[in-house]
Chain A
Amino acid sequence: MDTLNILLMGFISVVLINNLVFTKFLGICPYLGVSGRIDMAFGMGMAVTFVVTLSGTLTWMIDNWILMKLGLEVTRYVCFILVIAGAVQLVEMYVRKFFPSLYDSFGIFLPLITTNCAILGLCLFLNLWMIESLLDAAVRSFGAGIGFTMAICIMAGIRENLNMADVPDCLKGAPITLITAGLLSLAFMGFAGMIR
């Protein structure tokens, strides 16, 4: 029961309270770049979720079982990037094979998940939060992906409606998007401090 509690709390924490986009301001590039339409935003969120779950779990294993044992913490960044790049390659092949239309509409944003700082950020946060079990790391990684998907889908929903709104000329396009992002993140900041 205790383990389940920790896992649940960890999941909620990373989705709502420590949401990578809203409170850590990571992964802003795809968050603003692919949030034009809700179906594409959801696809992007799913791709990121897959990559972040895979790479978060793998990097936790590599970090705890290899790098820390050998005292090679300095190579953490390099190793993590290697893992993320590999995972993205895998996802790209998978999407290209099974979802060709999604692959076409992503364009350059799919390989760019490699440089999505939310993923590297999560891998490094796992160490910073001192996650002790593999299961907890996996759940939190998955949660981070779900948090990102939630953020980008909320944003896409708002932007779809913004297209029909009468926005003042000086705020059209990027400015209103950034203001929206700021207000959204302000709302989620309200959760701060509820759980660690």
Chain B
Amino acid sequence: MILAAVFELWSSAWPAGLTMLGLGSGFAVVLLIASEKLKVEVDPKIEQIHGALPNLDCGACGFAGCGQYAKAILGNAELLGKCAPGGAETSAKIADILNLQVSDSGPPKRPIIHCRAHADDKTIYAIYQGIQSCTAANALPYVQACGFGCLSFGDCTRACKFDALHIVDGLSTVDYDKCTGCTACSKACPRHLIEMVPFRYENMMTVACSSKESGKSTRAFCKVGCIGCGLCVKQSELFKVEQNIARFDYAQYQMTEKEEAAMNKCPTKVIIYRGKTAPEPPQPRSRTAAATKA
């Protein structure tokens, strides 16, 4: 009986199957002819360059994706070396494909966040309950007392495609192991706290503050802000104080004892190391004093 059912199924199905097969092969032949007639010659170098790129489509180069960038390089070799995640290795590979030589583009750039205020260090006047985004919060005048520091709503963490940025205790923190230097975070920050810095060493010294307020008012609302006292300038010529904020000249970055001394002299301990193996930043004097009192 099962055999009869199978036979019936077969006898009623074969015309349908045969028709589909006929139609399918008919179209296959037409498409085959068309694909031969309408063939588009693609430069094999584009495929090769595309293969050499990391294929992350992060947009650091300024193009929509790796595919468009590959095409653009072939047309204009000056665009070589714009791939931040790929770095020097990728540039070398592409240069090999194009028979070019790359000049050294310097050490890879990594983001540094010019703020070191964690949740405890900040003064907050009122609890913000608006849209949970730095860009939205930045439009309001008094989300937090400091008009320059990290808002910690995580626009940068959302911009990061590599899971290299996290809000740790109210401060955006870079995971330098995962960071590729694609610059997405520095473009996302509405307060422009994130600077792309050439990392000559594993850890880089930085002034982790952006407050342009006078020393007195900075002191009033932030325990770890730069007060623009200028003690660091006296120790090392790499520091400069402009608009109440110390800045570090990365173009001439050299680690000497003078910079170490400046770091130790800093009263609010705002000069710290950032990097893969950066030591735990020292606590400012005011806070250690408060701790011993308590």
Contact = CB atoms under 8 A, between A and B. Distances in A.
Contact of A96 (B15, B16, B27, B40): B40
Contacts of A66: 19
A72 B39 CA distance: 36
A82 B22 CA distance: 12
Interface in B1-47: 15-16, 19-20, 23-24, 27, 30-31, 34-35, 38-40
B34 A78 contact: no
Contacts, number: 41
Interface string A70-104: 10101100110011001001100110110010000
A12 interface: no
B21 to A, nearest CB: 11
B19 A75 contact: yes
Interface residues of B, number: 14
Nearest to A93: B38
A62 B38 contact: no
A90 B30 contact: yes
Contacts of A83: 23, 27
A78 B31 contact: no
For the complex of A and B, 6 pairs with smallest distance between CB atoms: A86-B27, A93-B38, A97-B38, A75-B16, A72-B16, A96-B40
Given A72-B19, A79-B20, A97-B39, 15 more contacts: A62-B23, A72-B16, A75-B16, A75-B19, A79-B19, A82-B20, A82-B27, A86-B27, A86-B31, A93-B35, A93-B38, A94-B38, A96-B38, A96-B40, A97-B40
26 contacts: A62-B23, A67-B19, A72-B15, A72-B16, A74-B16, A75-B20, A79-B19, A82-B20, A82-B23, A82-B27, A83-B23, A83-B27, A86-B27, A86-B31, A89-B31, A89-B34, A90-B30, A90-B31, A90-B34, A93-B34, A94-B34, A96-B40, A97-B38, A97-B39, A97-B40, A100-B40
